[in-house]
Amino acid sequence: MTDKVELVNQHRSFATEAGENILSAALRQGIVIPHNCRNGFCGSCMGLLHGGEVEYESEEKLKGLSDEKEQEGFILCCKAMTKGDIQLDVETIDAVADIEIKTLPCRVHRLTRLADDVMQMEIKLPPHEKFEFHAGQYLDFLLRDGRRRSFSMANSPSSSEILELHIREVPGGSFTGQVFNEMKEKDMLRMQGPFGTFIMRSDNSRPAILIAGGTGLAPLKSMLEKVREEGCDRPLHLYWGARAIRDLYFDEDLREWTEDLDCLSYTPVLSEPSAGDGWTGATGWVHEAVMSDFPDFTGFDVYASGPPPMINAIQKSFPDNGLEQGHFYFDSFEYANDGD
């Protein structure tokens, strides 16, 4: 028994099987709805129900769907299942659907310490192997015991023989601990990708605010490298939040980039500047610094990547300052759920 999901304003539809959530059904049929955690937390896959009914497997409250949004008719596609045919208004990203997901062996090409707890890992793919991706997407390392670890590409898609990753060491983290303490150049790994829908939307030219927390800079750096190659089509305001100056591992380059890219402005924000830093720039939480510079987000797109608390804070506070539904794009660097 299947139900039909009709995509409002898109003149297309897909089918859901019994017990299958809407996101999985769409992806299975090559229709990419934005998604991130796939667990009801992040809200990336939110859509507006125009007709029909859905149900959720459990009665538990979904963190990514406020009561207010639910009353307005919004649903989370990663958890909602159809109860008969429905009509749904949700964003789809065709550009991502066109790229083949590959599983490849790769070699650690170079490890460079960028900051106390950030390693730049460059990985080399087998010769003649083409790995296509969109700026902003990520790969998964496939570990021997079946676990996966996600990291965003930091380089431009145009130079994909060597992939650049920025890896933050998680205290007690099994994979990142290995990267910092055991891994050597030429070690072999297995990876799969590209994944993710955190890509710059090219169907509008609204000014964009880009917010990175720590290694959340990686996917935004990839997007900005592409902009450097292709030119700007909109004003871009980059904010990068870190603890102290020593954590701003790409600061000098970003300052230089603003000199050759007229559309780009850059504001680093430190949450714990050291007394000896002599820091005279912005301080505090990065999202608060953005709100103080932009009291009204109407007409802006916001792209953010980094720690889940930063993403949650933006999700909670920016709509009150005019950020419109459907104009917040993000990658929340959740820790892997090995139980899944």
Ligand X SMILES: Cc1cc2nc3c(=O)[nH]c(=O)nc-3n(C[C@H](O)[C@H](O)[C@H](O)COP(=O)(O)OP(=O)(O)OC[C@H]3O[C@@H](n4cnc5c(N)ncnc54)[C@H](O)[C@@H]3O)c2cc1C
**In this structure, what token pair is assigned to residue 235?**
């004003």
Residue 146 in contact with ligand X, rule: CB under 6 A: no
Residue 152 in contact with ligand X, rule: CB under 6 A: yes
Residue 12 in contact with ligand X, rule: CB under 6 A: no
Nearest Cα neighbor of 303 from 238, 248, 257 is 238
Q: Which of 3, 247, 301, 331 binds ligand X (CB under 6 A)?
A: 331
AA identity, residue 231: G
Of the two residues 5 and 167, which places its CB atom closer to ligand X in the complex?
Answer: 167
Residue 180 in contact with ligand X, rule: CB under 6 A: no
**Alpha carbon distance 267, 241 (integer Å):** 9
Q: How many residues bind ligand X (CB under 6 A)?
A: 25
Q: CA 155 → CA 217, 218, 224, 296, distances in Å? A: 11, 8, 9, 32
Of the two residues 24 and 197, which places its CB atom closer to ligand X in the complex?
Answer: 197
Residue 176 in contact with ligand X, rule: CB under 6 A: yes
Q: What is the dihedral of CA 32, 324, 267, 200, to 10 degrees?
A: 20
Of the two residues 104 and 232, which places its CB atom closer to ligand X in the complex?
Answer: 104
Residue 170 in contact with ligand X, rule: CB under 6 A: yes
Query: Side-chain half-sphere of 135: how many Cα atoms within 13 Å?
Result: 21
Nearest distance from C-beta of residue 194 to ligand X, angstroms: 11
**Alpha carbon distance 14, 21 (integer Å):** 12
Nearest distance from C-beta of residue 167 to ligand X, angstroms: 5
Instruction: Estimate to the nearest angstrom the gap between the alpha carbon of 252 and the chain centroid.
Output: 24
Nearest distance from C-beta of residue 335 to ligand X, angstroms: 4
Residue 39 in contact with ligand X, rule: CB under 6 A: no
Q: Which of 35, 134, 166, 327 binds ligand X (CB under 6 A)?
A: 166
Of the two residues 167 and 310, which places its CB atom closer to ligand X in the complex?
Answer: 167
**Alpha carbon distance 295, 293 (integer Å):** 6
Of the two residues 79 and 149, which places its CB atom closer to ligand X in the complex?
Answer: 149
Q: Which of 74, 151, 303, 329 binds ligand X (CB under 6 A)?
A: 151
Residue 276 in contact with ligand X, rule: CB under 6 A: no
Whether the CA torsion 316, 152, 327, 20 is positive or negative: it is: negative
Q: Which of 79, 168, 226, 327 binds ligand X (CB under 6 A)?
A: 168
Residue nearest to ligand X (CB): 173
DSSP assignment letter at 65: S
Strands 46-51 and 118-124: unpaired
Binding piece for ligand X, criterion CB under 6 A, among 22-30, 56-64, 243-251, 326-334: 326-334
Q: Which of 167, 209, 210, 238 binds ligand X (CB under 6 A)?
A: 167
Number of residues that make up the chain: 340
Map the footprint of ligand X across residues 186-215, applying CB under 6 A.
196, 215
Q: CA 175 → CA 112, 150, 202, 253, distances in Å? A: 17, 10, 35, 28
Who's near 215: CB < 8 A, 6+ residues apart?
118, 166, 167, 168, 306, 333
Residues of this chain that interact with ligand X (CB under 6 A) are 138, 149-152, 165-168, 170-177, 196, 215, 218, 331, 333-336
